[in-house]
Amino acid sequence: MKTIFDSKFQKEVVLIGQGEIAVEKSNSRLISTTLGSCIAVCLFDPESLVGGMNHYMLPAPALEEECIVFSRAKYGVNSMEYLINELLKIGAVRERITAKIFGGANMFGQNSPNTSLTSVGAQNIAFAQSYLTMERISVLAKDVGGDHARKIYLDPTTGKVKLFRLRSQQMDEVLDSEVKYRKKIQSEDKHKDEESVDAKITLF
């Protein structure tokens, strides 16, 4: 996780990678991440005006012991609990928290011989929705699935999200990053300060 100054927004932007979370209560910072088959859940308390985002790779570990060895926020089951608890620490009230869900693309292609890879996005989407339902957290918006990568920016004090759909070249970079992370889950996620994006911006 690192912080840059983004000239487009004239604000500092906290960049989070796979297995990371960030929470903020300052209107001078945004939170951003780039997604392929991974999921980012953006949480917001409309009264305390605090928000946060996670970026998880898989719904749950294959072995329970992995939670101890690797990043606790790598898996959705740990990442969601971690994100909620960090928000509560900076003033959020659980009953007021709302959510927006992004990501879960089929980055590996429908004809991929590895069905475990092609189903990752769908599994991540299903987990996010079921977890939020179980926790009685309302989902106000979502942009999930499809076959395109996304870059999102959360304003933590308004709950608004700007979404950019990435072009093919950067989609390949996202795919390569996810494959490498899956092979070596402890490797650090590398971010770029500049991105090539389509002109269309979607607001949530």
pLDDT of residue 180: 57
Residue identified by tokens 């990501």 is: 103
Buried b / exposed e across 87-124, counting CB within 10 Å, b at 16+? bbeeebeeeebbbbbbbbbbbbeeeeeeeebbebbebb
Q: What is the pLDDT along the chain (204 residues), one digit of tens a residue?
A: 899 999 999 999 999 999 899 999 989 999 999 999 899 999 999 999 999 999 998 766 554 444 433 445 557 788 999 999 999 999 999 999 999 999 999 876 555 544 455 578 898 999 999 999 999 999 999 999 998 899 999 999 999 999 999 875 454 555 555 555 555 544 443 443 344 444 456 677
pLDDT of residue 71: 46
Q: Which SS3 state, helix, strand or coil, does residue 168 take?
A: helix
Q: Cα–Cα–Cα angle for 115, 119, 121, nearest 5°?
A: 145
Task: Retrieve residue 8's tokens.
Answer: 């487009």
Residue identified by tokens 């608890």 is: 85
pLDDT of residue 121: 87
Please tell me the distance from the alpha carbon of residue 54 to that of residue 79, in angstroms, as a whole number. Answer: 7
Residues 6+ apart with CB under 8 A from 139: 98, 99, 100, 101, 129, 132
User: Which residues is 39 bridged to in the sheet?
Assistant: 56, 103
| Residue 74, burial from CB neighbour count under 10 angstroms (0-12, 13-18, 19+) | buried
Considering the candidates 15, 16, 30, 38, report the single residue annotated as catalytic. 38
pLDDT of residue 191: 42
Identify whether 42 is a catalytic site residue. Answer: no
Q: What is the 3-state secondary structure (H, E, C) of 141-160?
A: EEEECCCCCEEEEECCCCCC
Q: Which domains occur in the chain, in start order?
A: 2-203 (3.30.1330.200)
Residue 175 has φ and ψ, to the nearest 5°, of -60, -45
pLDDT of residue 60: 65
Among 18, 13, 56, residue whose Cα is nearest residue 32? 13
